[in-house]
Amino acid sequence: MNDKSNNGGISRRTVLKAAGAAAAAGILQAPYVRAATRELRLLNDQTTAESIKALKDAAALYEKERGIKVIVDSVPSEELYPRILAGIRGGKPYDLSTIIFVAHMVSLAKEGQLTPVTHLINKYKWGKRILFPLNGVHYYFPYAYALCWLYYRKDLYAQLKLEPATNWTQYLENARKCMTDGASRRYGHTTPIGSNVATNWMTFGFMWAEGVTLFKDDWSLAIDSPQVRKQAAAYLDFMSELHKLMPPGATQFGFASAMQQFGADQAAHAPYSGRMIEYLEQKAPNLADKYGIMPYPGSTGPRRAVNHGYKGILVYKTEMAEESLRFLEWWQESQFINFLHTAPLNFQPARLDIYDDPRWRADPLIKKHAEAVKTMRGYLTDDKLIIRSIDTEGPAPDIRPSKVFQSNVLAEMLQNRLLKNTPADACVDQAVTRMREIIA
């Protein structure tokens, strides 16, 4: 899953609905009608002015060096996949695009729309759980992680003589001690709990740290086993206690809420990716040197987890596929770091060699926040750290976990416990029943 905060998020029904409708209508089989051309078309969903400029500067340089014009179209993340399908349906597919869900890659690959990028993948060393091969073939080229961990107020921890939590009891205690009353009340923790993408990305880290998995290797439901049911129920009971330390209205919280509340000193702990640090630098500079980052702890330790997130690129099977591969390889070597620097802490490199590249390390924010960057890098190589997300669950890339993601089953399981006070076992049972129906 991608961090979509810069584009306002993705609506509940746009994740997979377009893919299913496209396949049912056969629109992915539309013939190409483009005439021979010397141009590449790239569809991009990173819509900040800086990111678009970096891509267009690279496009201009590529045209100057190779004589190939690169057209960059940029759309919000929620419009990305529909635009991809519209191009295919209209006989004018894009040559390259960014991508926000593994399920979209799976659908396009199975329809024969993608060109393998295996030889480019093999050039580099990658962090863990960022490659999504299909039967040994790579179609997805990662350019960044969008992992989600916990932020805490390091200055408050120092004042209160607290240590980063290694279990749930300690986390609840830390959150309570950081709270204040009065007009400028500070809550202990914040996170979304609504039926939305933000909840699916940000809020289940404690559950992954407890060892919960959704699918077994044969695609039967792991969460239906007695042990995992027990772990999921324990997570729900913990969240019921943590919810008492959160601001009201969490069902309406989205991506921006965590940054805004943490930056405004309204919450002492909040989940997010490296984008939080950029936000503090821009909007709350008084806190830009007062944060710490930590993984989500399990109930008793030693398990720790972060929520998975990813950003990637696809190359389509068009008449310009070979040139598209050449452009992607050239961009990685020549201009990629310039693009990463447009969001230097949010675009966490997936390639491990980038972390030692002096060009990348020269960015002022990367220098200033070297301690956080070191921690972020460590998450990619720590074999004991759990990295999971709903849509990447299971033994291989597949559309089934994304159906679970899109239907908000786990978010509704959480709401039943927190808002309706339904016993945790019953909440898990309801979720398991729904998951069986969704993936049938």
This prediction has a pTM of 0.92
Which tokens sit at 289? 């040197």
Q: Is residue 383 pLDDT above 60, yes or no?
A: yes
Q: What would the mean pLDDT of 421-439 be, rounded to a whole number?
A: 98
Which one has a higher pLDDT value, 37 or 385?
385
Which tokens sit at 337? 């770091």
Q: How many CB atoms are closer than 10 A to CB 365?
A: 18
Do 297 and 165 form a contact (C-beta atoms < 8 A)? yes
Q: What would the mean pLDDT of 344-349 be, rounded to a whole number?
A: 98
CA distance 77 to 227: 37
Q: How confident is the model at residue 28 (pLDDT cuts 50, 70, 90)?
A: low
Ramachandran bin of 385, using left for φ above 0, alpha for ψ from -120 to 50, beta for the remaining angles: beta
| Residues in Cβ contact with 35 at an 8 Å cutoff, skipping those fewer than 6 apart | none
CA dihedral 308, 255, 48, 344 (to 10 degrees): -50
Q: What pLDDT, on the 0 to 100 scale, is given for residue 25?
A: 41
Which one has a higher pLDDT value, 287 or 20?
287
CA distance 85 to 283: 37
Q: How confident is the model at residue 335 (pLDDT cuts 50, 70, 90)?
A: very high
Q: Is residue 26 pLDDT above 80, yes or no?
A: no
Q: Which of 368, 342, 339, 337 is nearest to 353 (CA)?
A: 337
Q: What pLDDT, on the 0 to 100 scale, is given for residue 37?
A: 55
Q: What would the mean pLDDT of 268-291 be, rounded to a whole number?
A: 98
Specify the residue for token string 């693009």.
Answer: 339
CA distance 197 to 11: 8
The per-type count for the chain, helices as H runs and strands as E runs, is 20, 12
Q: What pLDDT, on the 0 to 100 scale, is given for residue 5?
A: 44
Q: What pLDDT, on the 0 to 100 scale, is given for residue 241?
A: 98
Q: Is residue 48 pLDDT above 90, yes or no?
A: yes
CA distance 216 to 31: 38
CA distance 400 to 239: 26
CA distances from 150 to 162, 200, 202, 274, 430 (A): 15, 15, 9, 10, 29
188-236 pLDDT, tens digit per residue, is 999 999 999 999 999 999 999 999 999 999 999 999 999 999 999 999 9
96-145 pLDDT, tens digit per residue, is 999 999 999 999 999 999 999 999 999 999 999 999 999 999 999 999 99
Do 52 and 111 form a contact (C-beta atoms < 8 A)? no
- Give me the percent of the chain exceeding a pLDDT of 90: 90
Q: What would the mean pLDDT of 243-263 be, rounded to a whole number?
A: 97
Which tokens sit at 391? 């849509």
Q: What is the sign of the dihedral through the CA atoms of 352, 354, 355 and 356?
A: positive
Q: Where are the alpha helices (DSSP H) in 5-67?
A: 17-25, 49-66
